[in-house]
Amino acid sequence: MNSIYHSKLIVGLGNPGRRYQFTRHNVGFEVIDKLIIRLNIKRIVEKHHALVAFGRLSDFDIILAKPLTFVNASGQSVAPIVSEFNLPLTELCVVYDDLNLDLGILRIRRAGSDGGHKGLKSIIHHLDSQDFPRLRVGIGKPADDAISHVLSEFTSEERVVIDESIEKAADALETLITDGIEAAMNKFNMRLNCCPM
């Protein structure tokens, strides 16, 4: 039986610097920023090439991290954070953008391959495991070049959708932390290719 008191690590992927702040590739950062505001977190430090914030939610110690290594080298930051806090990988959740999902769609998974995402590939490599939860946020499929797409900003119409998805992603992570991944998947995994209700 699990103890009453846990630590949870939520890592959001993105690129540092104002140039990338509101690009599609930085959705993970935006979800972390949303949680920092919601949990009224004041303690933020820089360590292991990441901004790391510490807070509480219910009976849980929460560690939020934004790697500053640039997305494709995220594992260089995530692995030492996991090691320092001696966390089992089941207590880690990585939040990142996914161009294979329609704009705003959320997908939570317990484990799996990198799906072509270089940031996740780096984390899997440095942890030597793909057995950790992740939350994918759909950013829409590129018309042509994938790199230009992920480094572009959302249109004003898309921004409305993605802002709502960031709120829902924060909701999903709070549910994952307090009620477990099964509850979060059941509540927040949105079905693809379905008509609006």
Could you report the per-residue pLDDT of 173-189, keeping only the tens digit for each? 999 999 999 999 999 99
State the Cα torsion 77-83-86-91 to the nearest 10°.
40
Q: Does the structure show a pLDDT above 50 at 197?
A: no
Is the separation of the CB atoms in 169 and 98 below 8 Å? Answer: no
Query: Which of the four pLDDT bands, split at 50, 70 and 90, describes residue 191?
Result: low
Q: Tell me phi and psi for residue 158, to 5 degrees.
A: -65, -35
Is the separation of the CB atoms in 46 and 31 below 8 Å? Answer: no
- Two tokens, residue 66: 């934004």
Task: Determine the pLDDT at residue 86.
Answer: 93
| Amino acid letter for position 178 | T
Could you report the per-residue pLDDT of 50-65, keeping only the tens digit for each? 999 999 999 899 999 9
Task: Determine the pLDDT at residue 72.
Answer: 97
Averaged pLDDT for residues 13-42? 97
Q: Does the structure show a pLDDT above 80 at 117?
A: yes
The count of other CB atoms within 10 Å of the CB of residue 114 is 16
Query: Which of the four pLDDT bands, split at 50, 70 and 90, describes residue 144?
Result: confident
Average pLDDT, the chain: 93
Question: Containing H/E element for 185?
Answer: helix 181-188
Question: 126 catalytic, yes or no?
Answer: no
Task: Determine the pLDDT at residue 143.
Answer: 84
* Least confident span in 35-39, 81-85, 141-145: 141-145
Q: Model-level pTM greater than 0.75?
A: yes
Please state, in angstroms and as integers, the Cα–Cα distance from residue 156 to each residue in 22, 103, 139, 169, following that order. 12, 13, 14, 20
Q: Does the structure show a pLDDT above 90 at 195?
A: no
The residue assigned the tokens 């059941």 is 186
Is the separation of the CB atoms in 32 and 23 below 8 Å? Answer: no
Q: What kind of fold does domain 6-188 have according to CATH?
A: Rossmann fold (3.40.50)
Please state, in angstroms and as integers, the Cα–Cα distance from residue 81 to each residue in 28, 47, 54, 56, 107, following that order. 17, 8, 13, 18, 24
Domain ranges of the chain: 6-188
Catalytic residue selected from 25, 48, 117, 149: 25
